[in-house]
Chains A and B, each alone.
Chain A
Amino acid sequence: MGALIESVAVSRPGFFRRGSVDLAVKAAADCLGKVRRDPNELGLLVNTGIYRDRDIGEPSIASFIQQRIRANELFTGAEGTFSFDLNNGAGGMLTAAMVVDGFLATGAVKYGLVVTSDAEPHPGQCESYPFVPAGAALLLSRGRAGEGFLHFRTDTDTEFAADFASRIEWTAKGRKKRNILMVRQKEEYARHCARCAREGLADFLQEISMPMEEIDIVVPSPGPPGWLAELVREPGLGERTVVLPEAFARMHTAGLGFALMQAREDGRFARAKNCLFLAVGSGITVSFALYRNPS
Chain B
Amino acid sequence: MAGVKMWGRIDLEDLTGIAARRVCTGKEDSYVLSISAARDCLRYSRYQPDELEMIICCSITRYQDGLNFVYEPPLSLTVKEAIGAHRALNFDITNACAGMLTGVYIMNDFIRRGVIRRGMVISGEYLSSAVHNAVPHVKTVLSGQLASLTVGDCGAAVILERAPEGESGLQVSNFITLAKYSDLCIGEPCVDAPGAQMVTAARKIHQVAISDSPPILKRALMAAGLEYGDIDHFIPHQTSIRAIRSGGKHLARYLGSNVKNIITNFQEYGNTASTTHFLAMYRYLQEKRFKKGDKILIMAFASGLVIGVVIFTMDALVDRYGSAD
Tell me whether B71 is interfacial, beta carbon within 8 Å. yes
Contact between A84 and B77, CB atoms less than 8 A apart: no
Contacting A at CB under 8 A, from B71-99, are 71-74, 77-78, 81, 89-96, 98
A59 and B185 alpha carbons, distance in the complex (Å): 7
Contact between A63 and B177, CB atoms less than 8 A apart: yes
Give the chain A neighbours of B194 by CB distance below 8 A: 170, 179
Contact between B91 and A73, CB atoms less than 8 A apart: no
Chain A interface SS verdict (over half): mixed
Tell me whether B110 is interfacial, beta carbon within 8 Å. yes
Tell me whether B41 is interfacial, beta carbon within 8 Å. no
Contact between A81 and B189, CB atoms less than 8 A apart: no
Contact between A168 and B68, CB atoms less than 8 A apart: yes
Known: A55-B189, A74-B180. A86 touches B92 (CB 8 A): yes
Give the chain A neighbours of B72 by CB distance below 8 A: 50, 87, 89, 164-167, 281-282
Known: A58-B303, A81-B177, A85-B94. A165 touches B182 (CB 8 A): no
Interchain nearest-CB distance for A106 vs B (Å): 7
Give the chain A neighbours of B177 by CB distance below 8 A: 45, 60, 62-63, 66, 72, 80-84
Chain B residue nearest in CB terms to A252: B72
Contact between A63 and B92, CB atoms less than 8 A apart: no
What mask results when residues 43 to 78 of chain B are scored 1 for a CB within 8 Å of chain A, else 0? 000000000000000001100100111111110011
Chain A residue nearest in CB terms to B66: A170
The interface-forming segment of A12-20, A133-141, A153-161, A195-203 is A153-161
A87 and B60 alpha carbons, distance in the complex (Å): 12
A156 and B60 alpha carbons, distance in the complex (Å): 23
Tell me whether A283 is interfacial, beta carbon within 8 Å. yes
The 9 A-B pairs at the shortest CB distance, nearest first, are namely: A58-B187, A179-B189, A59-B303, A80-B176, A66-B179, A67-B179, A73-B180, A170-B194, A85-B94
Q: A168-B68, A170-B68 are in contact. List 19 more A-B contacts (CB 8 A).
A: A50-B71, A50-B72, A57-B60, A57-B94, A60-B96, A63-B177, A66-B177, A67-B180, A72-B177, A75-B176, A81-B179, A86-B94, A87-B94, A88-B74, A88-B91, A106-B109, A106-B113, A164-B72, A166-B71
5 pairs from A and B in contact (CB 8 Å cutoff): A57-B187, A64-B182, A106-B113, A158-B77, A166-B72
